[in-house]
Amino acid sequence: MVDNSTPYPLGVTVREDGLNVAVYSETAEAVDVAVFDDGSETTHRLDQRTGHVFHGIVPGGVGTRYGFRVHGEWEPAEGLRHNAAKLLLDPYARAVEGQWGAGEETFGHLFADPEQRNDADSAPSVPRAVVVDPAFDWAGDRAPRTPLADTVVYEVHVKGFTQQHPDVPEEIRGTYAGLAHPAAIQHLLDLGVTAVELLPVHQFVQDSHLAEKGLRNYWGYNSIGFFAPHNEYSAAGDDGSQVREFKEMVKALHAAGLEVILDVVYNHTAEGNHMGPTLSLKGIDNGSYYRVVEEEPENYFDTTGTGNSLNVSHPAALQLILDSLRYWVSEMHVDGFRFDLATTLTRQWGDAHVHSAFLDIVHQDPVLAPVKLIAEPWDTQGYQVGGFPARWSEWNGKYRDDVRDFWRGQGSLGALTQRLTGSPDVYEADRRSPLCSVNFLTAHDGFTLADLTAYDEKHNEANGENSQDGESDNRSWNCGAEGPTDDEAVNALRDRQRRNLLTTLLLSAGVPMLLGGDEFGRTQGGNNNAYCQDDEISWFDWAGADRELLGFTRELLRLRRETSALRGAWYRGDGLDGSPDAVLSLRADGEPMTQAEWDDGNARAYGVQFSAEGSATVLLLVNGATNPVEFTVPKAPAGPWKLVVSSDPQQEVGREVADLLVGEWSTTVLRSA
């Protein structure tokens, strides 16, 4: 056969004359493609080389199972970890069949002597890449392209969302097909969110230390295949059918007007540090794909807390990330990405930098131009909230901390106002907008909303680490010594606090992100680090849903959706100059706040009025004091003020109001049409 193979695209491409295979490695001496048929292995040497890309034509087509065996030096002290005894996953594999074992044979080194190469064949203990048919009928699919100003993000786990859903057929619960089921989609539509942000769906590896304790990696922040949808979430099987099922899910969500955002983990892989297994990149070209310590290349520079960090100063690693992003947009039709530990991706020269190659390349890419980009703006070495370019939105950790503190009785009105108005102290000086702030109070990592307000301490006993894991969050929500002490009153206060937090979150300027299940009181029993709990601790308990809280959340999102004054794309003045577009802070007597009031650390009650031309006006009355406060409501700008939402059960929703007594620890929302 004449070899007219090409060095691009990398990975495997189906052609009429077979499979075009291309693998990047600066340090390999030879690359074999191992093809598996009925358990037997046949190897094919890639005889062509263009630059640092090995390529060739290999017999096969759709459905072919394969892996790589890469020959080269084994010199860990020099950062070289080639070992042809290890069957390696194609970094560009579109689908993966099977799971990884945890035995010594999957490691490139010997346990007894990490400097010595382990020549045991890993093929019986690792999965195969599967060649898939990329064809799919996307006819009628249309990306919603919801403007950021109108976006409400719903962070959710593919499996946990439907694993116990009574209206989803049992055979597809916990899968991509389950999330695409009409009953699942209807909940999202009734709630009023516009986008699902899926916890990692890139193929990931189960951790051996968890398996030994009878636990599993549930969250999935242990990626190994940046192009492959995780096979365990497929109802159709892992023979490549998971790709079609994922596409069908996206198409169904799009048809309902819902966007799909992926939580992506490009900062590290499941191969860990120098003591970790050899599964893919480590055996292909360790130094190009991973950042090693310059003077000690046997060790890895780690800013992720997982053992390794991708080498974003190298073109090969950058190409892998960008090729993956483009693939998920072009071929899988996703609408955006949330980048886990995104700061690590900006460390081209060691320190985080706004002009890093990664950010510059993303900024220029036409395929990525229309999609949403959300950064988790920190890693183990630094906190970069406000440090990303204007093109990006960010998880705003300051929003979470300041709003929580206020409703705990510890924070100030000044800090709360910054967060309610889109964090101008973080973004306005750099001419960024409120839409750069993804506001959140809870996320997968930490307490759920129900647990945040119910537990003074974490309860992670089920994780098998004596509850030493997870962040400490030992601040009471019982509002100090003056809070209630009897159980009924405590539960009533916690119920109000949940509504206070939801009201603040869903009516703040910026892009709200709601943790899936918080809308109906989902609990994890106080576990604030349920990464390893693939069970009832993490799965949605639909039968136990708090229907009243669900209705309250729906009403807040309806109010946000119908009131453009709550969805400002830019910062606004106080309106005292007569401008119709304004955010005005008012004392309880209805007069504008003065600097003295802002400087008063004991001030706990005020009003925030949101107005915009062509929109109804909303007045949010906040009382974080331990006593009721009488508010003098300002003159309504148009129709009379109507009470539309309140965390105070004593308030009568729907009535017209003038002056109003707002109960302790509560929020009340008025609207003037």
Predicted confidence (pLDDT) per residue in 72-95, tens digit: 999 999 999 999 999 999 999 999
| Separation between Cα atoms, residue 230 and residue 204, nearest integer Å | 7
Annotation says 376 is catalytic:
yes
607-661: pLDDT as tens digits: 999 999 999 999 999 999 999 999 999 999 888 999 999 999 999 998 988 889 9
R_g of the chain computed on alpha carbons: 27
The H helix count followed by the E strand count for the chain is 15, 30
DSSP state letter for 532:
G
Out of 105, 197, 232, 376, the active site residue is 376
DSSP three-state, residue 433: coil
Weakest-pLDDT range from 180-189, 425-434, 569-578: 569-578
| Separation between Cα atoms, residue 509 and residue 426, nearest integer Å | 13
Phi, psi of 618 (to 5 degrees): -120, 135
Annotation says 562 is catalytic:
no
Q: Which residues pair with 20 in a beta bridge?
A: 13, 57
Whether pLDDT at 313 is above 70: yes
439-477: pLDDT as tens digits: 999 999 999 999 999 998 999 999 998 888 888 765 666
Q: At 234, list the tokens.
A: 């497929």
Out of 232, 238, 335, 340, the active site residue is 340
pLDDT of residue 45: 98
| Separation between Cα atoms, residue 579 and residue 185, nearest integer Å | 40
Task: Name, of 113-127, 344-358, 480-494, 629-643, the range with top average pLDDT.
Answer: 113-127
The b/e string for 36-54 (b: 16+ C-beta within 10 A; e otherwise) is beeeeeeebebebbeebbb
CATH of domain 11-130: 2.60.40.10
The pLDDT mean for the chain works out to: 94
* Contact status, residue 401 vs residue 409, Cβ threshold 8 Å: no
Burial of 426 (0-12, 13-18, 19+ CB in 10 A): buried
> What is the percent of the chain with per-residue pLDDT over 70, rounded to a whole number?
98
Q: Where are the alpha helices (DSSP H) in 234-350?
A: 241-255, 281-289, 315-330
Domain ranges within the chain, ordered by starting residue:
11-130, 148-156+193-233+260-565, 569-672
pLDDT of residue 394: 97
Which strand (E) or helix (H) includes residue 33?
A: strand 30-37
Same-fold call for 148-156+193-233+260-565 versus 569-672:
no
More confident residue, 658 or 188: 188
| Separation between Cα atoms, residue 538 and residue 531, nearest integer Å | 9
User: How remote is the C-alpha of 279 from its chain's centroid?
Assistant: 25
Give this prediction's pTM.
0.97
* Contact status, residue 289 vs residue 25, Cβ threshold 8 Å: no
Whether pLDDT at 66 is above 90: yes
| Separation between Cα atoms, residue 380 and residue 271, nearest integer Å | 18
Pick the CATH number of 569-672 from 3.30.2290.10, 2.60.120.960, 2.60.40.1180, 3.90.79.10: 2.60.40.1180
| Separation between Cα atoms, residue 243 and residue 229, nearest integer Å | 6
CATH of domain 148-156+193-233+260-565: 3.20.20.80
Q: Which residues pair with 519 in a beta bridge?
A: none
